[in-house]
Structure 1
Amino acid sequence: MTIDHEGPEPLYQQLADLLRAQIKSGELPPNRPIPTEQRLMQMHELGRDTVRRAVGILRDEGLLITVKARGTFVVDRSQEGVPDRRGEG
């Protein structure tokens, strides 16, 4: 899947779809960072606002989480519903 710069679908939506597919396929694995904004801009020839909007969509969907000064990471959805055991014992 590539970004179609001439197509009718908004570029941010195309990038969100691409990243979502990479997350679902495991190409972007849980608990690992996605490429930086700068790298996504270079890879897909997109502007910063377009990349930020796409990442924001996936963050709103619960697929990504941004950690200040660390980056944006794929959420580990396999842990949903599993009790938090930290601090027990």
Structure 2
Amino acid sequence: MEFEPDAEIDHAGPVTPYRQLAGILRARIARGDWQPNRAIASETQLVQQYGLARTTVRRAIAVLVEEGLVFTVPQRGTYVSPDAATARPQGDAATD
């Protein structure tokens, strides 16, 4: 399932919130909101912006790490991978 970069989280929808957020962040990276080797919004900012629990945000980021789109640096944040443009997303499962 594709997500728009400016989409909002649909808490009543069929896709889990962490998958929705992963899709939104993926779309924002593809749009160029964050350049390779630059930090994305912090967990705290994402919690506030999307109205999600910190664990939900962390789970969404873990999906993107697994896909190779981002990497985390302890005490520094989450950064767009240098090869994010060539990373192949594994898709968004509707259920998880």
Shorter chain as denominator, the TM-score bin is: 0.7 to 0.9
Higher relative contact order (CA 8 A, sep 6+): 2
Q: TM-score, normalization: structure 2?
A: 0.77
Partner of 1:76: 82
Structure 1 gap ranges (5+): 81-89
Partner of 2:57: 51
Q: TM-score, normalization: structure 1?
A: 0.83
Quickly say closer, same or farther: Cα 1:78–1:37, change in 2 above 3 A.
closer
Tell me whether 1:39 sits opposite 2:49 in the alignment.
no
The CA distance in 2 between the partners of 1:24 and 1:42, in whole Å, is 22
Write out per-residue CA displacement over residues 4-62 of structure 1, whole angstroms, 9 at most, x where no aligned residue. Answer: 12211100000000000011111122111011111100000000110000000000000
4+ long deviations beyond 6 Å: none
Partner of 1:86: none
The CA distance in 2 between the partners of 1:52 and 1:11, in whole Å, is 11
Greater CA radius of gyration, 1 or 2? 1
Q: Kindly tell me the number of residue pairs found equivalent between the two proteins.
A: 80
CA RMSD of aligned residues (A): 1.7
Quickly say closer, same or farther: Cα 1:69–1:20, change in 2 above 3 A.
same
Structure 2 gap ranges (5+): 1-6, 87-96
